[in-house]
Chain A
């Protein structure tokens, strides 16, 4: 089965969690951090990452700052107050999703 398809539905909570743990981050940094934490298993494509970041920004979950990084501009994302609240909710939802999945996939003991 396609691995990225499995991660696709969880991309939003993953990004929110990464921003919660690391403060502000820029797009490329998010993809690298996700790859590093999952030991190369999670490869977030640009076509999936940026539309999601832009949507979360317009929904008021993320805020942005644009700064100069040497000879280029860099856009940083961080959680807004509403985003921090959302991070608790999305963490709980993901937690219950994982529990439900384990009910289906864990080896039956009885």
Chain B
């Protein structure tokens, strides 16, 4: 049986080989420790260092990297599915009411009240979106603070998704087709489409943030359950 120091040496070895995620290290360390113990039992003259070298040869640098890369791809797929599942729930009753209410508020104000009210309404929606942004950041930093070991399953790369690009697409489309739009529907309708378009993007952003918060909570719960030792008490 390997000593505590030797196990710690294996963790250090993983870090040296760029395996910085604890959820992968745990498995690699146990695998290597088993292999080293077996080699040392078969050949009693082998030292720990020599056995580690032999085991490293069987793993190879590429082997270790492949494990991380494959796991990253698997996690990305898993989170994409999770994101879709959570996102679509906002388009079913009763959650869909949130989007309808925001959109209806803009249309009503636009129809029946003067421009300053419309601007105030849009600023209000922008504020809700900003609050959502802050909530997501708060949850992300909470996750970072409570974890004292880095986990691949909670890596920030899986939670960086948004709809910013839609703003640019909307801008490009409405300015690119400005003339045909104005000719066909009139200038007023084009500017309405721009306003409603931006509101729809803000609604998507708010939904996206709610999805992120749900995902972060779900993933954190799962991570705590699987790797309690990676979290501070």
Contact = CB atoms under 8 A, between A and B. Distances in A.
Contacts of A75: 26-27, 30
Interface in A68-99: 69-75
Interface in A1-50: 26-28, 45-47, 50
Contacts of A28: 30-31, 34-35
Contact of A73 (B2, B4, B30, B35): B30
B27 A50 contact: yes
Interface in B27-48: 27-31, 33-35
Contacts of A50: 27, 67, 70-71
Nearest to A47: B63
A64 B223 CA distance: 12
Q: Which label, helix, strand, loop or mixed, suits the secondary structure of the A interface?
A: mixed
Interface of B: 1-4, 7, 26-31, 33-35, 58-60, 62-64, 66-67, 70-71, 74-75, 77-78, 226-227, 229
Given A27-B27, A47-B67, A51-B74, 14 more contacts: A27-B31, A46-B58, A46-B64, A47-B59, A47-B60, A50-B27, A50-B67, A54-B67, A54-B74, A55-B70, A64-B226, A71-B3, A75-B26, A75-B30
Interface of A: 26-28, 45-47, 50-51, 54-55, 58, 64, 66, 69-75
List of 10 A-B pairs having minimum Cβ-Cβ separation, nearest first: A51-B70, A47-B63, A28-B34, A47-B66, A58-B78, A73-B26, A50-B67, A28-B31, A54-B71, A58-B74
